[in-house]
Amino acid sequence: MNGTKLRRRKAPKNAKAGNPEKEVDSEESELEFDFDLWKYTKILAVPLLLAIGVAYYLNPTIFTDAMQSYLGLSEQELAKMVPVLEFPIDFSANVHRRDAVVRAFQHAWLAYERDAMGNDEYHPISHEGTNLTDAGGIGYTVVDSIDTMLLMGLDQEYSRAREWVATKMDFERNATFNTFETVIRVLGGLLSAYHFSGEDSLYLEKAIDLADRIIPAFNTPSRLPLSNINLALREGAIDPNWPQFVSSAEVATLQLEFRYLSVLSRNTLYWEKAETVMHVLKNSLMPHGLASIFLNWYNGEFVLSTLRLGSRADSYYEYLLKQYLQTNNTEVFYRDMYTNAMDAVHKTLIKKSANSVLTYTSELVPEKHPDGQISWRLTPKQDHLVCFFGGSLLLGATTAGALVHPVSVPPRAGELSEQGKRDWETGISLIKTCMATHDTATGLAPEIAHFRIPSDGIGHDPQYPSDWYIKGAHTRPGELPPYDARYILRPETVESLFLAFRLTGDEMYREWAWRIFEAIEKHCRVETGGYASIINVDEIPSRKEDKMETFMMSETLKYLYLIFADANVLPLDKYVLNTEAHPLPIFDIPPKFKDLVQRNPMLSHPILE
Ligand code: DMJ
């Protein structure tokens, strides 16, 4: 920058006297001056605007927070004073992208139907289907996919799937099935199909038949359901790998389905069984208020085991909130359990990566010392499964953490409680972190991400990026990559993006979802039909594994569809989605059930206010 150019030069005296030569000279000086000032302003303005933009991006409430403390006002007072800039939010469908997702669903379904109709699972590369047990399938993939077809308006595919349920679906299978998986995929799928098919009684009859076969799993001294159930013998069975234990997520992720079934069937039994589990859990919670991953099914007590938001615990937290939402925000018992759990999660498990860029959830692993003392080791590891949690926190902030109902989109600062604001900010940050784990060669996120901490012993190894990495992913040619490196078509990130888009109206979330969809198309699509898992997200060309999980059609493609569909499809104040993305309608507790809830001797805490 030339400082002298900025100095104003006086026009020479003779300018007025009409000396043309000098006049020109004078004009040039002015022009030069104006031009230079503009340039100078621009040079200063660019970094200033950038800094403001970055500050706002990192902390969207920075300006209102500053005003609030300057004026000494409460948030509510400030919210009343400050005119809020209302930007029109476009919740209409992105037809082109929505339809691309529908075509992807057809690509998956038609291949399954061609090669494996009725089988529980599908292997798109070998064009084969398999069942979970030798006793025959129970329709995992078919039932898991039906409500997605109904939402997408795929009538022909739907009528063939319905025909299969009507004529071939059979639960008289003498084999053990995982109780939780059967409830969230099959029972949840049937209930959702019942609702979206215009209450086709076929699905309700099947749902009652299935639930009645599952109920004996709850016949334990603690009333916690066993991990497995023999559907033909109607007998609960232990998990041979963990004979004394059941996992927290498994026992606490049956409630939405059983409660809705009770209302539809007018049979209180299912509600009672599911509700009792929650009271057993509430009475046994560990001092920090978190649920460890295992419980003893005999005495109902939590077992000293890992604390985390990932596998075996994830949907315990998800369903605390969703039970509160399911009955129109009336059961304060669940709101309080959820709120306490979120406080404990923030105190114990929410962490920042080494250079404080990424917020992630850590795990706490108990270690027993020879003298009998227990210590807890913090492990900076986050399962892909945890990526549901960002969206769940946003949903919780705008309901359990809201001071007004409904909140604005996006919520204004004054509309959320302190806890709601904290959960909102953590939720937004966790979604960014999950997107950061998509920063791989394929654009897909691994099954497990580790975050850098100063004591990880990696130091400044250039092979490892500064924030997160896939453990053991640097394999030699010919070696199989570790399990952590896989992408098995999981839905959790797009689930959170769906909630974030609906609750903020920010197009950025649609863009991120589209990026993930394109990566799936590029790396997981099998040209002959279906989608496959890939064994290393950080390897190009990607290597496929011959498996299409049922949640690809029930969850991943459904959430992608919902992100690009009009927001009138499935409004969040009318539906709550079970953990397998089967939407169930929100309802008011029927009076008969209110009595039940208050009378149940197992229920040691009032449910309603
Ligand atoms: C689904 O079966 C359910 O979302 C479950 O709660 C855990 N995750 C898988 C999909 O990743």
Instruction: Give the mean model confidence (pLDDT) for residues 19-23.
Output: 36
Distance CA 489, CA 499 (A): 19
Distance CA 530, CA 517 (A): 14
- Written as one letter, the residue type at 443 is G
Please enumerate in sequence order all residues whose Cβ is within 8 A of that of 473, keeping only pairs 6 or more positions apart, or say none: 446, 481, 482, 484, 485, 536, 538
pLDDT, tens digit, 9 for 90 and up, residues 198-245: 999 999 999 999 999 999 999 999 999 999 999 999 999 999 999 999
Q: In the structure encoding, which two tokens stand for residue 436, read together?
A: 């950061």
Q: What percent of the chain has pLDDT over 90?
A: 77
Distances (CA, A) of 21 to 9, 17, 26, 111: 16, 11, 9, 84
pLDDT-based confidence at residue 5 (cuts at 50, 70, 90): very low
For the annotated catalytic residues, the residue numbers are 181, 314, 447, 492
pLDDT at 465: 78
Q: Which of 472, 447, 465, 474 is nearest to 535 (CA)?
A: 447
pLDDT at 15: 35
Pocket test for ligand 1, best of 447, 493, 555, 558 (most atoms within 8 A of CB): 555
CATH code of the domain occupying 89-598: 1.50.10.10
Please enumerate in sequence order all residues whose Cβ is within 8 A of that of 153, keeping only pairs 6 or more positions apart, or say none: none
Would you say residue 597 has pLDDT above 70?
no
pTM: 0.86
**From the centroid of its chain, how far is CA 250?**
17
Q: In the structure encoding, which two tokens stand for residue 257, read together?
A: 């389905």
Ligand 1 centroid – CA 76 distance (Å)? 39
Closest atom, ligand 1, to C-alpha of 249: 6
User: Is residue 551 in contact with ligand 1, taking CB distance under 6 Å?
Assistant: yes
Smallest CA separation from ligand 1 atom 3, residue: 580
Distance CA 216, CA 236 (A): 6
Distance CA 432, CA 140 (A): 32
> If you search the block for the tokens 């995982």, which residue do you land on?
178
Closest atom, ligand 1, to C-alpha of 185: 2
The set of long-range contacts for 164-169, using a CB threshold of 8 Å and a minimum separation of 24, is 164/117, 164/118, 164/139, 165/139, 165/193, 165/202, 165/203, 165/206, 166/202, 168/118, 168/139, 169/138, 169/139, 169/142, 169/143, 169/206
Would you say residue 60 has pLDDT above 90?
no
Ligand 1 centroid – CA 579 distance (Å)? 6
Q: Which helix (H) or strand (E) holds 18?
A: none
Would you say residue 451 has pLDDT above 50?
yes
Please enumerate in sequence order all residues whose Cβ is within 8 A of that of 540, keeping only pairs 6 or more positions apart, or say none: 441, 442
Instruction: Give the mean model confidence (pLDDT) for residues 573-583.
Output: 98
pLDDT-based confidence at residue 356 (cuts at 50, 70, 90): confident
Smallest CA separation from ligand 1 atom 8, residue: 385
Helix H, strand E, coil C: the string for 589-607 is CCHHHHHHHHHCCCCCCCC
Would you say residue 116 has pLDDT above 70?
yes
The torsion angles phi and psi of 45, rounded to 5 degrees, stand at -70, -35
pLDDT, tens digit, 9 for 90 and up, residues 362-402: 999 999 999 999 999 999 999 999 999 999 999 999 999 99
Ligand 1 centroid – CA 4 distance (Å)? 67
Contact 72, 408 (CB under 8 A): no
Torsion of CA 336, 377, 433, 565, to 10 degrees: -50
Would you say residue 4 has pLDDT above 70?
no
Distance CA 123, CA 133 (A): 16
Ligand 1 centroid – CA 437 distance (Å)? 18
pLDDT, tens digit, 9 for 90 and up, residues 458-470: 877 777 777 999 9
Which of these ranges, 108-112, 229-233, 463-467, 600-604, has the smallest mean pLDDT?
600-604
Would you say residue 457 has pLDDT above 90?
no
pLDDT at 35: 54
Distance CA 179, CA 176 (A): 9
579 annotated to a ligand binding site: yes
Half-sphere exposure of 553 (CA within 13 A, CB side): 35
Helix H, strand E, coil C: the string for 185-199 is HHHHHHHHHHHHCCC
> If you search the block for the tokens 């037809």, which residue do you land on?
95
pLDDT-based confidence at residue 557 (cuts at 50, 70, 90): very high
Distance CA 490, CA 547 (A): 12
Closest atom, ligand 1, to C-alpha of 495: 4
Q: Which of 54-63, 151-160, 285-294, 593-602 has the highest mean pLDDT?
A: 151-160
Would you say residue 62 has pLDDT above 90?
no
On average, the pLDDT of the chain sits at 88
Which of these ranges, 51-55, 158-162, 185-189, has the smallest mean pLDDT?
51-55
